[in-house]
Amino acid sequence: MTVYEIHKNKFKIKLSDTEVLALFGSYTKLFEMKKETKILINLLLKDILSKRKQNFKNGKISADLKVIKNFGCEIYIVCSEAIEIKTTAFRFKSFENLINGIKALKETKFESSLYKYNGFYYLMADNENLSYLINDFYSYKTRSYIFLEKVKEYGKMIIEENAAQILAETFN
């Protein structure tokens, strides 16, 4: 097991294939996420976090599990209340929906970036009013810190900065 401290309030735990099988017995138990599996994961997290208590004393702990059969798993741990989340991820089913949403905006000069992850386009924006303006075009939105970080880590970055402005200038 390897523990990475990504940020003072964010950790990633990697378990190898051998460690997953030793702890849980099979990948099926991880995929089904029954009570005994949840207890094992909680015990594992408590052990790891007890050694890093200073980073998690004022927040609620969130965990996200990524399991890849025969390759192990990764557990992302975040103390979400200790982090101020300003960014919202807007998911678009297609590039056409994304562009139509951008065209509906009157103002595009705000912090934004664009990623493609699991076949969807994600506009990451620091603009709380945006959801009302493009409501008809996006299929989902979230401010989950774990999800935002997952998209940034595993998604393909298309436009790093000023994505809304660049798309508006290009397609209007």
Task: Determine the 3-state secondary structure of 78 from DSSP.
Answer: strand
By CB atoms closer than 10 A (0-12, 13-18, 19+), residue 75 is buried
Predicted local distance difference test score (pLDDT) of residue 96: 93
Give the predicted TM-score (pTM) of the model: 0.61
Q: Give me the helix-helix angle, 35-50 and 17-24, nearest 10°.
A: 120
Predicted local distance difference test score (pLDDT) of residue 119: 94
Per residue in 38-75, pLDDT (tens digit) is 888 878 777 777 776 555 555 667 777 888 888 888 88
State the CATH number of the domain containing residue 109: 3.30.70.1950
Predicted local distance difference test score (pLDDT) of residue 59: 60
Domains held by the chain: number: 2
Q: Which residues pair with 140 in a beta bridge?
A: 91
Which of 107, 101, 33, 96 lies closest to 67 in space, CA to CA? 33
Predicted local distance difference test score (pLDDT) of residue 165: 92
Predicted local distance difference test score (pLDDT) of residue 56: 56
Last residue within a domain, chosen from 57, 82, 107: 82
Q: 65 and 139 in one domain?
A: no
Domain containing 30 equals 2-82
Q: 77 and 32 in one domain?
A: yes
Last residue within a domain, chosen from 82, 103, 126: 82
Q: 120 and 157 in one domain?
A: yes
pLDDT higher than 80, residue 145: no
Number of Cβ within a 10 Å radius of residue 44: 16
Q: 103 and 53 in one domain?
A: no
Per residue in 77-128, pLDDT (tens digit) is 776 555 567 888 899 999 999 999 898 888 888 889 999 999 999 999 987 6
Q: 112 and 44 in one domain?
A: no
Q: 125 and 72 in one domain?
A: no
